[in-house]
Amino acid sequence: MHRRRLRPAIVALAVIAGLLAPGVMTAPPAVAAPSGGKKVIANLFEWNWPSVASECSSTLGPKGYGYVQVSPPQEHVRGNQWWVAYQPVSYRIESRKGTRAQFKSMVDTCHAAGVKVIVDAVINHMSGQDNGGTGWAGSTYQHHVYPGIYQSQDFHYCGRNGNNDIANYNDRYEVQNCELVNLSDLKTESDYVRSRLAAYLNDLLALGVDGFRLDASKHMPAADIANIRSRLNRSAYIVQEVIYGAGEPITPNEYTGNGDVHEFRYGKDLARVFRSERLAYLRNFGEGWGHLPSGVSSVFVDNHDTQRDDGGVLTYRDRGIYALANAFMLAWPYGSPTVMSSYTFSSRDAGPPSDGSNKTRNTVCYSGWECEHRWPVIANMVGFRNATEGAGVSNWYDNGNNHIAFSRTGRGFITINDEGSAINGRSYYTGLPAGRYCDVIHGTFTNGTCSGPVVTVDANGWFAANIPAHDAIALHLNARLP
């Protein structure tokens, strides 16, 4: 949960052809930082479980995504808005996205495809409905009573602001003991509440889940999260939602001992640079900008909250520039990147494509679902990220404005031209071995062949190319032709 100066839309034909999703697509076929060489997370926001399973097999696994992040799976309040999933009424794995059996099948299918599963876990609060009601799977509840789970003594009543709601983010007590937009705030310092939350997370671990995105972590003391984490039956990847606020007493750094932390400044800063500043400024992007240390930072161009509530980020509506920003994120060795995959929306509260009972429909990409994780440039740059994992940055070049280039030492090279006109007649030093490479911005490398342009790197590590406005070229060792 989470409480645009646009420049002119100039997008080169090459960007439209190579970076954006194709116009027609059929339905898809039936701890510390993430470990291993595949660290990129695809956030399939509000996808149902059969669709996630299908996507793991057809796209995420083959494209090299290491993880899929799925929306909250527990029983929630009724309604058609996106945020109903963030209002638990029980910990039954039964929601508009599917049944417990479908969830388990999804996890198993994703594992078979080499993709680990991260669950968006809501453990700070329960529902925000004053009068209670009946949840998705039939559980009855009241604002502070959830039969068989919690009673009134398990919640905070901060006694502030006339309604127990948070009003002052400069008051640590209020942020962590009052209600976030009326959501009944769990007493996470209570041993009983901690044990109940751990039981929910352990149930998910028993179903095979590999990690958790802990929603609204800022509204729980870091020590409470540490205690809950200590009760888990096995190790799991943890990433915490802690939104940085200038001057606020609660900071993301407090939570790094528990696992990764979302770096919300990343997407805002990247959007501002691409829209109105200079790409040349990105030379020390990340820690050099005061962001969290790379090893505990989880980054994204946008997520489900910032798309709706933050005018300072790029989203799918920005099309070519959005794709370029994601390409930079996947090329730049800072943090653990998450690629957003959205559905199309025009109003803030709009839920995903659903049937008459509000059950989420199967995903059909580019028909109500944006599927940014499939956009060719983004999907192909996941392979770039995997091929360059662990390599530093070298051979940085910029023109002082919006044309940059850099190597991931010995393993990859990217140049981005976000100028308003083409950059022609230049040569680029890659530091790569001589050979013929697939330009993965515009082509897909499969079985030793490239569907797009092929770039020849000479014996000294150079190649020559013309780059249209708002376009790029990216090469890596794993997309080298025979």
User: Which residue numbers are catalytic?
Assistant: 215, 241
Are 197 and 227 in contact by the 8 Å Cβ rule? The answer is: no
- Nearest 5°: the CA angle 333, 10, 22 is 70
Tokens of 404: 């940059």
Q: What is the 3-state secondary structure (H, E, C) of 405-447?
A: EEEECCCEEEEEECCCCCEEEEEEECCCCCEEEECCCCCCEEC
The Cα–Cα gap between 220 and 156 comes to: 11
CA dihedral 53, 55, 61, 66 (to 10 degrees): -80
The Cα–Cα gap between 36 and 39 comes to: 7
Are 135 and 76 in contact by the 8 Å Cβ rule? The answer is: yes
Question: Which residue in this structure is represented by tokens 């192909």?
Answer: 380
Name the packing angle between helices 222-230 and 191-206 (round to 10°).
50
The Cα–Cα gap between 120 and 239 comes to: 9
The Cα–Cα gap between 35 and 39 comes to: 7
β-sheet bridge partners, residue 232: none
The arrangement of strands across the sheet holding 403-408 comes to 393-398, 403-408, 412-417, 471-476
Residue 52, SS3 per DSSP: helix
Residue 34, SS3 per DSSP: coil
Question: Which residue in this structure is represented by tokens 């993965």?
Answer: 440
Question: Residue 215, by phi and psi: left (phi above 0), alpha (psi -120 to 50) or beta?
Answer: beta
CA dihedral 452, 14, 424, 412 (to 10 degrees): -50
Tokens of 334: 């800072």
